[in-house]
Structure 1
């Protein structure tokens, strides 16, 4: 039984490849996506593994059993007891898209915001978010938006009518509360659900990779593949549900103790996904445990 929850905000500082494995498609190594929406995610099991490894490194001077109390024992001893936390999938909240004006936009949509509102409620928050209705040919932006070209917002090759609304500032405020990086309200645009789906499907980064033959110094035959990345400046969030530990170790006896232990991640940088040795996967974290965080 889970007693508490925290929100974990993740802001991509570099492109992130949380891979789903090889597929028979143009992209050999695609990123993880929801099956029914196509939205990018980072699976909870992937995120939990990264957090576990990072916690072990940050607490190398403490009893290693703290890690087992929070995250559960290693696989070979998983039958002994469960961990005290349940790590949810990291869902996309803001997706960066090229803009004719203002360089790039943070794009979101009503469906993403509705989910965000529900997840905040699940975590015990009382969000005051009024999710707007958006037509297919418009983008809701702030009064001081840096994206406007006269009265238009041009994202990639999509031209939308700029609808300036004051209420968007409340939405941006709720988003900023979970973001480890200050969000420029002038860059935020709320678009129609279908437009958002197309953008997160068609405008991720796709990179060609090759393997060099050490003997010849040229590309090894057959060693060309394509990888997909979540772009830098993507904002995601995850709900981490917390229960009472199954065992009491080093003062970790209540759900509140686990919340305090997880706060070690606040403001930290982690590497998520593959290609760590080529500088990919850096994200900054923020832990939000109550409305005043």
Structure 2
């Protein structure tokens, strides 16, 4: 029988999980869902980062976890080896919960939309952790907030009419279980906008950073060494569903035991994961938080 583990991934630094394909003037765009345009970290990138982190951990237990959870390195095991088997860990895409967007009228806003919240509820139900929360409806040029602010809210250069919405309060408590922020901190900045407006911000509000390479001899920019790179800002919040099956390596370990092993190995004393490019310049660090089930 499978066992599931739901993780929140809260960005503490800039994140560049690249798509590997140029998009217009952006040489190195981030990964996006093809059908929605929302930022995402694909399961293959996330699983690779997890494997890399565990592989750097010393000790026999870490080595056993590596092979059991991820399978052996087939390049070294040999294509015909009977030791090749699939790992017991299944990793979903890291799906977006909110996108930090700068505001001209207040501090950074944690912006989300009804479609994201509906998908979260569906994923929680699929993980066996259903929540009975209502998803608020929002007008096309409206921004729902938990506070009593009225008037206009500016997200980037786009103006929205602010409306207080009391049904956001339980959402603050739920989202707090995916990160290291408390419900009050989240509700101070949480902003719900229309799906169409959110889709536009997912294209227009993602920061693009220019990069250059210096010629060491002349100390000037190398010819043609200018490129533009997208990166998600700190405080972006994702979640990912991990599924554990019974071990396939002949060890006899069940899914429940492997869930405990994965939890200890990934969360342990340092629940951080480096994902994507530019690790040497401090990018890509996510804090992992295990979602604990309780009825909302």
- Report the 3-state secondary structure (helix = DSSP H, G, I; strand = E; otherwise coil) of the residue aligned with 1:64: helix
Distance of 2:29 and 2:58 partners within structure 1: 33
1:91 is aligned to: 95
Distance of 1:236 and 1:60 partners within structure 2: 30
Point out the more displaced range, 177-186 or 84-93.
177-186
Alignment of 1:161-240 (within 5 A): 161-182=161-182, 183-240=185-242
The alignment's TM-score, normalised by the length of structure 2, stands at 0.90
- List alignment gaps of at least 5 residues for structure 1: none
2:261 is aligned to: 261
Q: Deviations over 1:183-221 (max 9, x none)?
A: 421110110001111111111111111111111111111
1:272 is aligned to: 275
- Report the 3-state secondary structure (helix = DSSP H, G, I; strand = E; otherwise coil) of the residue aligned with 2:166: coil
| Superposition deviation, residue 75 in structure 1 | 3.2
Distance of 1:285 and 1:128 partners within structure 2: 24
Query: 2:51–2:66: 8 Å Cα contact kept in structure 1?
Result: yes
Point out the more displaced range, 227-236 or 53-62.
53-62
| Superposition deviation, residue 55 in structure 1 | 1.8
Alignment of 1:137-176 (within 5 A): 137-143=141-147, 148=149, 150-176=150-176
Moved over 6 A (4+): none
Point out the more displaced range, 75-84 or 168-177.
75-84
Q: Deviations over 1:217-254 (max 9, x none)?
A: 111111110111011110011111111111354xx711
Distance of 1:18 and 1:39 partners within structure 2: 13
- Out of 117, 120, 125, the position equivalent to 2:124 is 120
| Superposition deviation, residue 127 in structure 1 | 1.0
CA-based RMSD:
1.9
Distance of 2:38 and 2:13 partners within structure 1: 19
